[in-house]
Structure 1
Amino acid sequence: MALPPPQIIATLKAKRNDIEASIKLYEQKAEQARRDLAHVNATLAIFATNDPADVRAYTDTSRLFRRGELWALCVASLREHGPQDTRELSRRVAEAKAMDASDPVLCKALAYRIVQALTLQWKRGKLGSEGIRKGVRVWATV
């Protein structure tokens, strides 16, 4: 069997190198397209949420409640379930607003808002406190 001419081998090797370079370029473009798609999906997740259960933990919690709504939810929970600490109240408020009460980041953000709202009412004498349990205040109705 005769060997092919060296020119054919050189041409095939050059063609192979061109195809490999093209594949590498297409893979880079596909990876960039995947990154672009991930960014578009993340932007959609931020702006296209209409369901309160889909609210992300980094959402501004100050706009989740109407004026006086957080206070009303806390008082209703205290009347129904008795004295509760701030952590329990944050879970109950999350449930009342149809949010994920098992999300620790969201509950912590809500707890900060609850402390601010209830401390003002406590200073005004509209709310009682049974002291501090495990580092958080226990709230009670007066």
Structure 2
Amino acid sequence: MSDTPQVINTLRTKAEELSAHIKRLERALQQAKADLAHINASVMLFEAPSEGSEFPLHFNLGRLYRVREIGKLCQEALATGPKDTRELALHAIRAKGFDETDKHLRASIQLRIVNAMRMQELRGKVRRVGKHGSAIVWVAAITIATPQEPNPKISHFLFVNSISACSNRSSVGG
């Protein structure tokens, strides 16, 4: 047998068990801290930052503007004349009171504006009139609409088809 008393052996064994338990708890604490950091980061993505604070690099812009609000803000800005995408973004940022110097926010909103303007272009509400550097210049469709004379071929086609449709109906009943 060994020269150390049984009490000391028992205490050393217990100390090793507690040390191993503490290491497991420390690993669990580290994991819990990492989980908390991830949850806080996720909350930041969906929560608008407080007034005057800087926007994070990754942020859900869908929470900043209501549905079609960017398009409406752009229409307001285009009412005064042609504007490029950068000017429209600056107008949208000012309308919400965000930081105009935040280049990440400005770039994200510019991408959103290009998408919104393309959708409005498909609806016939805006038109592209060129480029200013790398930015597209937009104009409201109302400001560039010019009165056009009716196309006589189309008018004649519509008139002939309406007459033939009427004659077909009268022949079916008679």
Say whether the fold is shared (TM-score over 0.5): yes
Q: Give the % identical residues.
A: 30
- Greater relative CO (CA pairs within 8 A, separation 6+): 1
Across the two proteins, how many residue pairs are aligned to each other?
Answer: 133
Q: Runs of 5+ in structure 1 lacking a partner? A: none
TM-score, normalised to structure 1, is: 0.61
Q: Contact 1:121 / 1:127 at 8 angstroms: preserved in 2?
A: yes
Distance in 2 separating the partners of 1:125 and 1:39: 42
Q: Does the C-alpha gap of structure 1 residues 73 and 23 become closer, same or farther in structure 2, counting only changes over 3 Å?
A: same
List alignment gaps of at least 5 residues for structure 2: 144-174
Q: CA deviation at 1:14?
A: 2.2
Say whether residues 1:139 and 2:133 are aligned partners: no
How far off its partner does 1:98 sit? 3.3
- Is 1:122–1:128's contact at 8 Å kept on the other side of the alignment? no
TM-superposed deviation, 1:140? 4.9
Aligned to 1:61: 62
Q: Which residue of 2 aligns with 1:6?
A: 4
For 1:17, the equivalent position in structure 2 comes to 16
**Structure 1 CA distance for aligned equivalents of residues 48 and 64 of structure 2:** 14
From the superposition, tell whether residues 116 and 27 of structure 1 become closer, same or farther in structure 2 (CA, over 3 Å): closer
- Is the 8 Å Cα contact of residues 128 and 139 (structure 1) preserved in structure 2? yes
Q: Which residue of 2 aligns with 1:29?
A: 28
Normalization by structure 2: what TM-score?
A: 0.52
What is the rounded CA distance, in whole Å, between the counterparts of 1:29 and 1:125 in structure 2? Answer: 57
